[in-house]
Structure 1
């Protein structure tokens, strides 16, 4: 973060060292000039190094190979240090304990960078990693229950045996959001790459959810995974159109309620068509006519609605019969209805037997 290099000095305070390394000899204690993207209320009070940033916020201070970095991080967190924006690339943080016991909410690690860090067995319950990076970090056997990863870079993160119940990732992944922006700007190569990364992340999250039997979460990640795959297909291709149709129909097999809504919409649409094209009952025309009263036309519409339900479910009582254009509509509705009912059974059983 380039903004971290700017100094922060509250009004009325003594002169502090600038972030370019210049020192004021009259200053008793130089503090870290970390600048948080969300405002000055997230300041760091740690002693500054020559760069003007403290040990944890200075990207140029390597955390890799430091034997006691885990213990130092735990102590830093426990004494109330500013965890937002810390840089812990490639740090050995195996079994690190960053859980705030007896307090509401976990540690706030927003904007923190844990690129390729070893976080195996880490205790990160309810921690907040929003806008940060866990790219290629190893979270094997870690506990991230209730943690927040909104707009966090999760590309390549290892989630084998990771406890991920109730995690929060927001409406879109970081890569997904950036991909949509790139697509709107006409940068299709960049957008396709970002969508591919998003698909990979959703796949890893789905597999991790399935391994722990969290099938509701796994179903959501499956929908997002297949959506990202669809975004990589040519815009007007048959393959993309078919994928979109399956999504609209049933959410890639994860949303039975969509099948119900589609069925109701089709029944109502067909009933309106029958109402204007007409059907027959005992040789008499049933449908809209200007000569009839509002009450009579209303009863005629409900007759058409009844016929639409019978046709959709392929019951075929035979009391009403289609005429003219209604025959084509009835044939189409019957075929679609039988397919939709079968689809609903498959999707519903899939959801209920997990």
Structure 2
């Protein structure tokens, strides 16, 4: 019986792992392996090397230069050894899409007889195991707030990823330093390895790494070892040329300056609070998610499909340009509904940033007619105004001429409608203080009809 694609892939990977075990051990013994050697390491081995050789120096640089980092560590009793025992960024990242004080859990996981430390978003020790046959079990060691959430709670700025120095920028051997003097681990200027099936051979979760000049080309699939994820990384000069499939990397709080995507299909990529600048030409972007940050590439001959952007739940100071870009992209490709949606998001973002009278007028424009893109709101306003005014007239029928005539609710709805539409047949007329109500209703009616016509005739953004 012929083996499936998945079985063949697993068999090849297991054989590769067995044949390269001695090579892995040799790399782990080095304090300064080459870029190719670091890419060769499987995820677990890679984290093992970093926990021993890289994370301790990074954490020490924060200890010496970031007083708030020390305060956070001391508040939750976190040690340097614990921070270096698993992916360091998991201790730092915002715990949820909403700016809450969500606890994280530092845990010991047992799986297939092996123990390792992890950071979880839930207390897994209180949940049923998903893989009981593999002996899956969890022990909670500590709970804590992520450093980003802790900074938000104390109204402090996140200060651990500030790039202040570069050497040989835009060259494949570019070097990058943080403001603490720590040089980010260099893993850029190359292509990640793939196997004979085009499957990413060494998927990794990279944090505080310099991958400037990384190249993604051809057909790449994500396999059982995972895809590429980046947190607090310098991913500048990322080049995607003729990339037909992609492993759908997640970029969290990264710099992506001078990005170059050409003749490629970018599928299921996510950017969370990243600084992205560059060029995207002759490509397709589909199922791409943009959360906060700066998203301002030059777009040419590129098709957008289910590309979404939002700043809700993020903590970034500026995001309006992303809405403008998506508004224009969808309008240029003839998708007026989505273009209108991002026009409204652009205006809503501006309203959030405004104050006082400016905030009031923008709020009025939104609720009255959705900044001109939801003229149906005007119809709702007109109907509500007619009904409310009819109710006022009905409570004071003696102030409606002719006085002696009995007036039903239908009569008052009729009178309110002809007043709102400024028809003024003259068979009924207000007296006393109801004249002010009728005057106000007629004025709002005249404005409403004008806004209604303008709303349905607008096509430009």
| TM-score exceeds 0.5 | yes
Task: State TM-score, norm by structure 1.
Answer: 0.66
Name the CA distance, whole Å, in 2 between partners of 1:324 and 1:228. 45
Select 1:11's aligned residue among 111, 135, 159: 111
Task: State TM-score, norm by structure 2.
Answer: 0.52
Query: Which residue of structure 1 aligns with residue 374 of structure 2?
Result: 255
Tell me if structure 2 keeps the 8 A contact 1:144–1:167.
Answer: no
* Secondary structure of the structure 1 residue equivalent to 2:372: coil
The CA RMSD measured in Å over matched residues stands at 3.8
Change (3 A) 1:94 1:108: closer
Tell me if structure 2 keeps the 8 A contact 1:116–1:138.
Answer: yes
The alignment of Structure 1 onto Structure 2 pairs a total of residues equal to 284
Query: Which residue of structure 2 aligns with residue 123 of structure 1?
Result: 264
| Residues 155-178 of structure 1, C-alpha deviations (whole Å, 9 max, x = no match) | 334434432233233xx42xx434
- Structure 1: 5+ residue stretches without partners: 19-32, 42-48, 101-106, 180-192, 288-299
- Structure 2: 5+ residue stretches without partners: 1-87, 93-105, 131-184, 188-201
Select 1:57's aligned residue among 196, 205, 213: 205
Tell me if structure 2 keeps the 8 A contact 1:313–1:334.
Answer: yes
Change (3 A) 1:124 1:198: same
Query: Which residue of structure 1 aligns with residue 272 of structure 2?
Result: 132
Which structure shows the higher strand fraction?
Answer: 2
Select 1:269's aligned residue among 388, 393, 403: 388
Query: Which residue of structure 1 aligns with residue 289 of structure 2?
Result: 149
Query: Which residue of structure 1 aligns with residue 313 of structure 2?
Result: 177
1:246 is the counterpart of 2:370? no
Name the CA distance, whole Å, in 1 between partners of 2:403 and 2:341. 52
* Secondary structure of the structure 2 residue equivalent to 1:140: strand
Q: How is 1:1-354 mapped onto 2 (pairs within 5 angstroms)?
A: 2-3=89-90, 10-14=110-114, 56-59=204-207, 61-65=209-213, 69-71=215-217, 77-83=221-227, 85-86=229-230, 89-99=235-245, 107-111=247-251, 113=254, 115-116=256-257, 118-121=259-262, 123-129=264-270, 132=272, 134-141=274-281, 143-149=283-289, 151=291, 153-169=293-309, 172-173=310-311, 176-178=312-314, 194=317, 197-234=318-355, 237-278=356-397, 279-280=399-400, 282-287=402-407, 300-351=408-459
Tell me if structure 2 keeps the 8 A contact 1:280–1:320.
Answer: yes
Deviation for aligned residue 1:7: 10
Name the CA distance, whole Å, in 2 between partners of 1:93 and 1:115. 10
